[in-house]
Amino acid sequence: MLTRTAGPSQGKPQVFFFLPSFPSLVLGLLLALLVSWPVSGQSAEVAAEAPAQATGQIPAEAAGQPGASTDTAVLQSPVDFDDLVRLALRRSPFFNKSHLEIKVRRMDEADSKSDLLPSIFFISRYYPSQPSNPSVTDPQTYYVAFTTGDYNPVMAYLSLKARKVVTEIARQAHLKVMSKGIETLGKSFLELHGMNRLVELQSTYVELARENLRSARERQKLGQVVPMEVEIISQEEAVARAHRAALLATKERIEEGLRKFLDLEPGQPLRLDLTNARRQVLGDFEPAEASLEEAQKRDFDVRIKQLSQELQTWNVALAKMKFMPSFTVVLQTPDPVSSNINRGTFFSLGLNFPIFEGFKRVRNIKRQKMVLQQFESEESVKAHELLQDWRDVEDDLRTAATEMQLAQAQADLARLKMKQAETYYRTGELDFAAFMQARREYVEGQIKVARKSMEYDLAAVELRSLTRDLVYRFVKEERFSS
């Protein structure tokens, strides 16, 4: 009920609210809290992490989110590269940290949105022993106050803008992690394909070495070969087997790395469909058509530095805003120990402004401007690093292409020499040892071609990763952009 009465220290009329009792105040506060409590735990994050549409792409924020039943069904059959990447994006722990960082930054952003409205604090004090005041016949035994504390809506608005930029930085960092992870998966996929080819060729080489060893032992029995020559041929066969064992160990190491990357259980099968592996990983990507300008627009490091500059401009504005006063709103009853003998609820507005604090605010503005200059320099550094990485990968591609062509030419020459040696051997113009040497040189040429082809493909994957075409093949950034 609104009533007019005299103020606590002046004779002017003042409006106040009559509070009947202390329990009624507490009950009203509890009811207000219950009404304002959120009725649904669903947030915008749930919608942002919805399953992918028919495009086959998934939201970038969904990386690191498990899907056990789906993953088990996929792993029951051979997994191609697309399925491998989607499995990793759903379950790999390497993506989980940056994914959770986005959620943390969203919570910070929600806190800043809450600061747009003043925080309300409830303060109460009850006196079991009533204060003694002869002039008051019916002293009040409690004190109640609702206060907002320091409130600056402009500062809260600028803080919200800064938090939004921080959230976007976390998103770009998450994209960077996923880009690097998918590049690693692509290289591992191609390496496994290349290792299978190398193991196959090395096994052929081992069989040739064994055939040569058997022939040498037969000729030794006939007295046509000395024991030392047989021992040398035997050692060559042992070296060939050792090379094959090394290739198998490398293949096993790559497979184990993939299993750890996918966070598979011990003994859980992982069968890969390596058919047309290069086509699966690189698709229609042509290194000669790759654009440096497009890579510069998409580079996550450069984006992060640009966003850091934007964030720092808001930090400069926030530093300047500290010269503005903050507001306080209080709704309270008189304190029984004060000299005020009036009852009711009194409303007041306050203004808080620091007068002197050793020029800390001035120095903070200078400090934030210096940090802004640092970010501007770091953007130039990141752009230069991207340019250098691009040139290095292009050099690797050119070198690998040249060496691959040379290896192929040498393999073709070895193939012709092998056919010539076979003809001479069948006509009796060439002995068996020379014929076997021609066959081994041909297989060695094929092994070299396989190695150089794998090096070229790995460099092509790295270049495609720099253009960010590889990560955007699987991730739809617009589905979680603010």
Q: In this predicted model, what pLDDT tens digit does every residue of 336-395 receive, in sequence order?
A: 777 666 777 888 888 888 888 888 888 988 998 998 888 888 888 989 999 999 999 999
Q: In this predicted model, what pLDDT tens digit does every residue of 120-176 receive, in sequence order?
A: 899 888 888 766 666 666 667 788 899 988 888 888 899 999 999 999 999 999 999
CA distance 438 to 430: 11
pLDDT reported for residue 482: 46
CA distance 24 to 33: 14
Q: In this predicted model, what pLDDT tens digit does every residue of 186-196 receive, in sequence order?
A: 999 999 999 99
List the chain domain ranges. 2-38+59-479
Q: Are 444 and 236 in contact (CB under 8 A)?
A: no
Q: In this predicted model, what pLDDT tens digit does every residue of 443-466 receive, in sequence order?
A: 999 999 999 999 999 999 999 999
3-state secondary structure of 5: strand
Query: 246 pLDDT exceeds 80?
Result: yes
Q: Are 191 and 254 in contact (CB under 8 A)?
A: yes
Average pLDDT over residues 273-290: 91
What would the CATH number be for the domain defined by 2-38+59-479?
A: 1.20.1600.10
CA distance 104 to 480: 15
CA distance 474 to 175: 11
Percent of the chain topping pLDDT 90: 44
Query: 272 pLDDT exceeds 80?
Result: yes
Query: In this structure, is the dihedral angle defined by the CA atoms of residues 84, 86, 92 and 97, taken in order, positive or negative?
Result: positive
Question: What is the average pLDDT value for the chain, to the nearest integer?
Answer: 82
Q: Are 147 and 329 in contact (CB under 8 A)?
A: yes
